[in-house]
Amino acid sequence: MSKSYAITSYGCQMNVYDAERMAEILEADGYRAAETAEAADLVILNPCHIREKAAEKVYSELGRLRAQDRAQGRRRQVAVAGCVAQAEGEEIPRRAPNVDLVIGPQAYHRLPALLADGAAAQRPGPAVATDFAAVAKFDLPRRPLPQGAGATGSAFLTVQEGCDKFCSFCVVPYTRGAEYSRPASQVLAEARRLLDAGALELTLLGQNVNAYHGAGPDGQDWSLARLLAALGALPGLKRLRYTTSHPLEVTGDLIAAHRDLPQLMPYLHQPVQSGSDTVLQAMNRRHTAAAYLQLVDRLRAARPDLALSSDFIVGFPGETDADFQATLALVRVVGYAQAYSFKYSARPGTPAAEREDAVPEAVKAERLAELQALIQEQQQAFNAASVGRRVEVLLDRPGRRPGQRLGRTPHMQAVHVDVPGELPPGPAMRPVRIVSSFRNSVAGVLAASAAAA
């Protein structure tokens, strides 16, 4: 019987996308998905380590797998993937002898070969594949996508990976390596495949997606704006989004795309991290708060209904109360539809981790609570302001209650919609009237039934 695998992913959408790629590679090699990690012959841990003490979690999970195996008198194959694999490398098998393979995000295409070597015991110890050389993981065999009722209405598509920005708090440039952009023709081919399988919305992914500069079929380097325009011309594509971007890389043509490309949704996640110039400089963000606010103005001039989201870090080393107040002031000026905020956590190997002026945990916690309360208030106000509006909703999941579907508004709000029984299964775009709002979502009715009511 074929071997079975289970992949446990945590963290960002990029990791989820990568887990899908690993699954495809393994299935092309004859593996099948196990019901549970318990039952799997091969367990892959795919952790994220951008903010959390992920390495420690991985070691404790590895210890748990080992104890289980010992108790049951068996030996599962175990691999550690993702950014933790990249960052810890050789250290993992030293601390966890049950690990057969440590595989960084750039080496996933080598999974079957590395696993087979190990199984045949041609290699004395575990394999550690954390080189950055290959980007071939994108050119792998693909398994058929679910169609019809099971189709994915909203699909992710990685177009860019890695980052050269070296923000002083961030591990990504070390774990995901230098910026790499997939050739435009490859992205377009993957997009066509997703659309053929029923996708209506594509979200282009990259750690620094607006730094995209992939080779175009015309021999020129394409910008993200150019790629978006080409994708917008594909039949069947209703919606486009991209994430995550850096303020420095928002070019004039990208701003114009927000004005001119009807498929590009009026919602942008644009991390700013802090509203204090001193902190921004210490973070090596290379722009000021004023420059970011100017950018927001330009984007809103291009697309007046643009809803904004961002990422914030509180308690960066040396952050004073005045610095934190500047962050609150920036949030008040912009007015976010939603935003993510985090307590600074020192990542080993990053320049900020060397600093000795850490902000006490209690102060970080206090600042985080204050910032989150403000963001929450803005999010709630944003949701409340949408009540009464008629919007196109991409309904692509069953709701919790019978007769309910879940979807997203153009502004990324989660929306629960009561639908009459006749709505066919599978993803669909429908006009919806928003009838009520909550903290993290809104509720609506199909616009036709709202008109009749």
Selection from ligand 5AD, ligand SF4, none that 208 binds (CB < 5 to 8 A by kind) is: ligand SF4
Q: What's the min distance (Å) between Cβ of 179 and ligand SF4?
A: 9
Q: Binding segment for ligand 5AD among 75-83, 319-327, 344-352, 365-373 (CB under 6 A)?
A: 344-352
Tell which positions 156-175 bind ligand SF4, by CB under 6 A: 163, 165-167, 170, 172-173
Contact indicator for 114, 129 with CB cutoff of 8 Å: yes
Rounded CA separation 341/215 (Å):
35
Determine the distance from the C-alpha atom of residue 326 to the mean position of all C-alpha atoms in its chain, rounded to a whole number: 28
**Consecutive H or E run containing 254:** helix 252-260
Half-sphere exposure of 403 (CA within 13 A, CB side): 7
Determine the distance from the C-alpha atom of residue 88 to the mean position of all C-alpha atoms in its chain, rounded to a whole number: 22
Q: Is the backbone of residue 11 left (phi > 0), alpha (psi -120 to 50) or beta?
A: left
**Consecutive H or E run containing 69:** helix 54-72
3-class DSSP state of 59: helix
**Consecutive H or E run containing 322:** helix 321-334
Q: Please give the residue whose beta carbon sits closest to ligand 5AD in the complex.
A: 311
Q: What's the min distance (Å) between Cβ of 310 and ligand 5AD?
A: 8
Please tell me what DSSP assigns to residue 424. Answer: P
For β-strands 390-398 and 414-418, DSSP reports them as: unpaired
Selection from ligand SF4, ligand 5AD, none that 165 binds (CB < 5 to 8 A by kind) is: ligand SF4
Selection from ligand 5AD, ligand SF4, none that 166 binds (CB < 5 to 8 A by kind) is: ligand SF4
208 binds ligand 5AD (CB under 6 A): no
Nearest CB to ligand SF4, comparing residues 209 and 415: 209
Nearest CB to ligand SF4, comparing residues 247 and 444: 247
Q: Token pair 């394999």 is at which residue?
A: 127
Torsions phi, psi of 282, nearest 5? Answer: -65, -30
Q: What's the min distance (Å) between Cβ of 172 and ligand SF4?
A: 4
3-class DSSP state of 237: coil
Tell which positions 272-301 bind ligand 5AD, by CB under 6 A: 273
Neighbours of 264 (CB within 10 A): 24
Query: Dihedral through CA 64, CA 70, CA 72, CA 77, nearest 10?
Result: 70
Tell which positions 387-446 bind ligand SF4, by CB under 6 A: none
Q: What's the min distance (Å) between Cβ of 340 and ligand 5AD?
A: 7
Within 8 A by CB and 6+ apart from 14, the residues are 158, 161, 205, 206, 207
Cis-peptide into 350, omega within 30 deg:
no
Tell which positions 180-219 bind ligand SF4, by CB under 6 A: 207-208
Q: Binding segment for ligand 5AD among 84-92, 229-237, 342-350, 420-428 (CB under 6 A)?
A: 342-350
Selection from ligand 5AD, ligand SF4, none that 347 binds (CB < 5 to 8 A by kind) is: ligand 5AD
Q: What's the min distance (Å) between Cβ of 133 and ligand SF4?
A: 21
Residue among 14, 78, 170, 229 that touches ligand 5AD (CB under 6 A):
170
Q: What's the min distance (Å) between Cβ of 297 and ligand 5AD?
A: 22
Selection from ligand SF4, ligand 5AD, none that 243 binds (CB < 5 to 8 A by kind) is: none
Contact indicator for 47, 54 with CB cutoff of 8 Å: yes
Rounded CA separation 285/160 (Å):
20
Residue among 138, 336, 342, 382 that touches ligand 5AD (CB under 6 A):
342
Residue type, 445: V
Selection from ligand SF4, ligand 5AD, none that 138 binds (CB < 5 to 8 A by kind) is: none
Q: Token pair 């004073």 is at which residue?
A: 320
- The pair of structure tokens assigned to 33 is 């998905």
Total site size for ligand 5AD, rule CB under 6 A: 12
Selection from ligand SF4, ligand 5AD, none that 344 binds (CB < 5 to 8 A by kind) is: ligand 5AD
Selection from ligand SF4, ligand 5AD, none that 51 binds (CB < 5 to 8 A by kind) is: ligand 5AD
Q: What's the min distance (Å) between Cβ of 105 and ligand 5AD?
A: 16
3-class DSSP state of 56: helix
| Residues in touch with ligand 5AD (CB under 6 A) | 50-51, 169-170, 271, 273, 311, 313, 342, 344-345, 347
| Residues in touch with ligand SF4 (CB under 6 A) | 163, 165-167, 170, 172-173, 207-208, 246
